[in-house]
Amino acid sequence: QVTLRESGPALVKPTQTLTLTCTFSGFSLTTYGMRVTWVRQPPGKALEWLARIDWNDDIFYNTSLRTRLTISKDTSKNQVVLTMTNMDPVDTATYYCARLYDRTGYLDYWGQGTLVTVSS
Amino acid sequence: SYELTQPLSVSVALGQTAIITCGGNNIGSKSVHWYQQKPGQAPVLVIYRDTNRPSGIPERFSGSKSGNTATLTVNRAQAGDEAHYYCQVWDSSVALVVFGGGTKLTVL
């Protein structure tokens, strides 16, 4: 059974760095073809893809946010960590992690999401 | 950057067929995936690789593609199908996941 769970602060101040952790089970990021991705959704708005990390350490970022994002993995803990620097109120959103399956890139399992509010 | 275009909203009478479109340049060369998202919940994959249904998704949900448009069809729409629906592709040319803007399906 595949599960993912996001954790991190619910509130961050402007200019601070956000660190989110995705803890997953039911698969391993050392297995060929496994990938984990982060997606966010501002309140009332559409989904926005952020970053992806693959079993082979390949990493991809949303072009418009790449200077602020870092994704990494700890395979011994079954965790993927996303950091986003210089947080702004427009970054207020629910942040999801999901398993990205297959070379065609569909997200077959999602965490429940964590709401991050950026406010002073 | 690659863009996917969806109608903001679609309405369907209870028991009728809803059609949600997703347009994109040369979308025929890409695999399209669809997600259902109900209020306060995470998205759920309902169609992958254009036409495939994950286990547990009712047969009333189907996907197709023609030309520059992918389509999600919901047959015999139920009140429980009311949700936002998002299409998504993996743009391999720039290694990016791309989502459409989402369509709110209302069952009347």
Taking residues B69-91, what's their average pLDDT? 96
Q: What is the mean pLDDT of residues B14-37?
A: 95
Model confidence at A25: pLDDT above 90: yes
CB contact under 8 A, A102 and B94: no
| pLDDT tier for residue B94 given thresholds of 50, 70 and 90 | confident
Tell me the average pLDDT across B77-88: 97
Residue for token digits 């139920």? B78
Per-residue pLDDT at A78: 97
Average pLDDT over residues B93-104: 91
Provide the 3-class DSSP secondary structure of residue A105: coil
**Distance set, CA A114 to CA A8, A111, B50 (Å):** 8, 9, 29
Amino acid occupying residue A55: W
3-state secondary structure of B101: coil
Q: What is the pLDDT of residue B8?
A: 97
Asked if the model's pLDDT at residue B92 lies above 90, the reply is no
Smallest CA-to-CA distance from A77 within A29, A15, A110, A33 is with: A29
Nearest CA in chain A to B90: A105
Other beta carbons within 10 angstroms of residue A29's beta carbon come to 20
Contact A106 B43 (CB under 8 A): no
Taking CB atoms and an 8 Å cut-off, how many pairs form between chains A and B? 67
Average pLDDT over residues B67-87: 96
**Average pLDDT score over chain B:** 95
